[in-house]
């Protein structure tokens, strides 16, 4: 049961990474030319389909086989932590720039807001995974 819960936490972390990559790829279409828009949207849809099809389960099963449960636990914490920090900083810097009088177009404002939402989604997954792993640790002690 503990391994299954740890693997589930790892699957959540990989899913949020690929969803984040998909959303960011699609939002990058706001600031590129026509060919870049098409490529960005297709790549973003590919990342999101990866999660919809459940392929992140194969990645975590492979990681569990080669690295064991410690590696999966590491991924479960540090994948969403990295996403929270990176996109959180982007949203904070954008907010500071707006506060200091910076004028942004609609595209940049959308990117800042989506980055903040992505950071919050990563933070929620991080908190869920920490709670799961702490509950597992409590069971073994």
Q: What is the pLDDT of residues 63-96, one digit of tens each?
A: 888 877 788 888 889 999 999 999 999 889 988 9
d(CA 137, CA 133) in angstroms, rounded, equals: 6
Q: What pTM was estimated for this model as a whole? A: 0.84
Q: CA 47, 81, 69 angle in degrees (round to 5)?
A: 85
Q: Which helix (H) or strand (E) holds 33?
A: none
The residues, ordered by sequence, that sit 6+ positions from 61 with a Cβ below 8 Å of its Cβ are: 7
Predicted pLDDT of residue 2: 64
Q: Which two tokens stand for residue 21?
A: 């990559």
Domain that holds residue 68: 2-140
- Say what the pLDDT of residue 103 is: 82
CA distance 71 to 66: 9
Structural domain count, the chain = 1
Q: Which residues of the chain have pLDDT under 50?
A: 1
Please report the pLDDT score of residue 140 as a whole number.
65
């Amino acid at each position: 049961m503990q391994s299954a819960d740890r693997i589930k936490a790892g699957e959540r972390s990989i899913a949020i990474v690929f969803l984040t990559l998909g959303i960011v790829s699609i939002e990058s279409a706001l600031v590129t030319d026509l060919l870049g828009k098409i490529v960005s949207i297709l790549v973003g849809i590919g990342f999101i389909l990866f999660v919809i099809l459940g392929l992140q389960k194969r990645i975590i099963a492979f990681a569990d086989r080669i690295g064991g449960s410690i590696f999966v636990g590491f991924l479960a914490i540090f994948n969403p932590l990295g996403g929270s920090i990176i996109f959180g900083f982007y949203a904070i810097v954008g907010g500071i720039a707006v506060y200091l009088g910076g004028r942004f177009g609609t595209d940049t404002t959308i990117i800042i807001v989506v980055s903040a939402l992505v950071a919050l989604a990563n933070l929620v997954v991080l908190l869920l995974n920490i709670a799961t792993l702490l509950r597992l640790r409590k069971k073994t002690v």
